[in-house]
């Protein structure tokens, strides 16, 4: 397929008339991405080839605001669907190379253009490609960070799952490692829920706790004391020998209102199935 050109055409018209050559050249330049185009379209509804045409026209027309908005939309889309950033980087660099291949053809067919105009064009086009990449990565990172924050908030809520058994009894099963961050989340959520749900008995099951350092152990004791001050009785179940050892090493004891039972099943039998003590 030969490049077609009429001297009356401007650069944009040249690209429009030779869009198929642009696409074929782009695919030849994007060695690793071209086989992923259909996958990216399926996963994120992102049409790389069509978007490449939009980007090129924003660059040629000097539509900087539209280019930044387009980069923002693209950044959010790629972050949302967690598409490999290396593909985007290669794709945009392939667009840059293809732009200059096409511009070279444009100039070969128009010998009247002054060399100064060529360098002005080079400066403007490269700046706009860089602007697109900069805006894309800023928005990708910003949106990705907001997703991570939302996911961390979800994990926080899931890490303190207070389960109502009836109108006055709740179970708090704790699983995994207890560190200072999780203890802070535990403190906030437990005290709020005890107040809002008017919990009278809170069964805290520690059978799933893998590790708990000294500082976390001391803070857990403070939380239990705070619960007691609010008129709620705490029942501790599933204490493992490692946790018991850590508690005894701190020299801090459970308050007199706190009861310890071997298993969660035993606590449910005594306080739920057989009625509150």
User: What CATH number is associated with residue 201?
Assistant: 3.30.750.24
Backbone dihedral angles phi then psi of residue 172, each to the nearest 5 degrees: -120, 95
Quick check: is 2 in a domain?
no
Domain match, 137 and 186 both? no
Domain carrying residue 35: 11-154
Domain match, 146 and 254 both? no
**234-260 burial: b if 16+ Cβ within 10 Å, else e:** bbbbbbeeebeebbeeeeeebeeebbe
Q: Is a pLDDT exceeding 60 seen at residue 86?
A: yes
β strands within the chain, DSSP E: 163-164, 169-178, 201-212, 233-237, 259-261
Distance CA 88, CA 46 (A): 11
Q: What is the pLDDT of residue 49?
A: 94
Distance CA 196, CA 47 (A): 49
Residues 6+ apart with CB under 8 A from 52: 22, 23, 26, 91, 95
Domain match, 150 and 168 both? no
Domain match, 44 and 133 both? yes
Q: What is the pLDDT of residue 19?
A: 92
Domain match, 20 and 145 both? yes
Q: What is the pLDDT of residue 7?
A: 37
- Reference 244, options 201, 204, 207, 202; nearest CA is 207
Examine the fold and report which residue of 129, 154, 179 is the final residue of a domain before the chain moves on.
154
Quick check: is 115 in a domain?
yes
Quick check: is 3 in a domain?
no
Q: Number of folded domains in the chain?
A: 2
Q: What is the pLDDT of residue 131?
A: 83
Distance CA 100, CA 93 (A): 11
Domain match, 238 and 217 both? yes
Examine the fold and report which residue of 154, 182, 216 is the final residue of a domain before the chain moves on.
154
Q: What is the pLDDT of residue 146?
A: 75
Q: What is the pLDDT of residue 194?
A: 93
Q: What is the pLDDT of residue 276?
A: 47
Asked if 14 and 102 touch (Cβ cutoff 8 Å), the reply is yes
pLDDT digits (tens, 9 = 90+) for 91-129: 999 999 999 888 888 877 776 556 667 767 787 888 788
Q: Is a pLDDT exceeding 90 seen at residue 246?
A: no
How many other β-carbons are positioned within 10 Å of the β-carbon of residue 78?
23
Domain match, 97 and 123 both? yes
Asked if 157 and 187 touch (Cβ cutoff 8 Å), the reply is no
Domain match, 122 and 185 both? no
Q: What is the pLDDT of residue 95?
A: 93
Domain match, 142 and 200 both? no
Q: How many CA atoms lie within 13 A of 109 on its CB side?
A: 17
Asked if 60 and 100 touch (Cβ cutoff 8 Å), the reply is no
Lowest mean pLDDT among 42-46, 118-122, 189-193, 248-252: 118-122
pLDDT digits (tens, 9 = 90+) for 159-192: 677 888 888 889 888 887 777 778 888 888 899 9
Q: What is the pLDDT of residue 156?
A: 60
142: which 2 tokens? Answer: 């910003």
Q: Is a pLDDT exceeding 70 seen at residue 51?
A: yes
- Reference 225, options 184, 201, 256; nearest CA is 256
Q: Is a pLDDT exceeding 80 seen at residue 272?
A: no
Domain match, 199 and 96 both? no
């Amino acid at each position: 397929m030969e490049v077609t050109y009429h001297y009356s055409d401007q650069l944009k018209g040249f690209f429009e008339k030779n869009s198929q050559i642009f696409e074929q050249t782009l695919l030849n330049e994007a060695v690793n991405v071209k086989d992923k185009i259909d996958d990216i379209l399926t996963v994120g509804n992102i049409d790389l080839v069509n978007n490449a045409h939009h980007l090129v026209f924003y660059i040629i027309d000097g539509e900087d605001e539209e280019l930044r908005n387009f980069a923002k939309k693209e950044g959010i889309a790629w972050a949302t669907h967690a598409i490999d950033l290396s593909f985007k980087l290669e794709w945009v660099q392939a667009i840059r190379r293809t732009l200059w291949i096409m511009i070279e053809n444009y100039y070969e067919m128009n010998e009247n253009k002054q060399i100064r105009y060529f360098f002005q064009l080079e400066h403007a086009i490269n700046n706009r490609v860089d602007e697109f990449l900069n805006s894309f990565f800023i928005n990708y990172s910003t949106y990705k960070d907001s997703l991570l924050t939302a996911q961390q908030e979800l994990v926080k809520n899931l890490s303190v799952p207070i389960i109502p058994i009836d109108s006055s009894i709740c179970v708090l099963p704790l699983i995994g490692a207890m560190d200072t961050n999780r203890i802070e989340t535990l403190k906030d959520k437990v005290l709020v829920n005890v107040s809002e749900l008017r919990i009278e008995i809170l069964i805290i099951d520690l059978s799933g706790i893998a590790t708990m350092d000294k500082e976390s152990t001391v803070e857990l004791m403070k939380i239990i004391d705070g619960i007691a001050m609010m008129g709620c009785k705490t029942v501790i179940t599933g204490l493992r020998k490692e946790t018991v050892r850590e508690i005894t090493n701190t020299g801090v004891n459970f308050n007199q209102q706190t009861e310890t039972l071997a298993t969660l099943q035993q606590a449910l039998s005594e306080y739920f199935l057989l009625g509150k003590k």
